[in-house]
Amino acid sequence: MTRSVEEWIGATDDSRPPAHVRLRVLKRFGGHCPKCTRDLSRNRWDCDHIVALENEGENRESNLQPLCVSPCHSDKTRADRKLKVESDNNQKRSFGIKGNRSFTQWRRMNGDRVYAPRER
């Protein structure tokens, strides 16, 4: 008979999983990085959120995976940020909000007027 263990849920988004939760996450993935299948028992690894917190993911044990620090975790973080920017831009576009351009024209040192390109 196996003992049922409650899933860890972070009190806040900044809460780090304790060591026993990190161990359970590592065991759940067989001690290997799910991206490159590298054995993590001899390498540095991080607990990564499968769905990033900035992309509406939750800070809970079922949303964690072990990733080797480099290159897998850094590549995934880069992809998560790109997805967040694209999502934000699409949302702004759907509400008719234009870019952050604060001015549309300016003058060069010689006095010529320069116009910013129009957004489409």
pTM for this model (two decimals): 0.74
Mean pLDDT of 46-66: 95
Mean confidence (pLDDT) of the chain: 89
Mean pLDDT of 95-102: 72
| Dihedral sign, Cα of residue 68, residue 70, residue 73, residue 75 | negative
Torsions phi, psi of 26, nearest 5? -60, -45
Over the stretch 68-84, which tens digit does the pLDDT of each residue have? 998 999 999 999 999 99
Mean pLDDT of 99-106: 68
Q: What is the pLDDT of residue 115?
A: 82
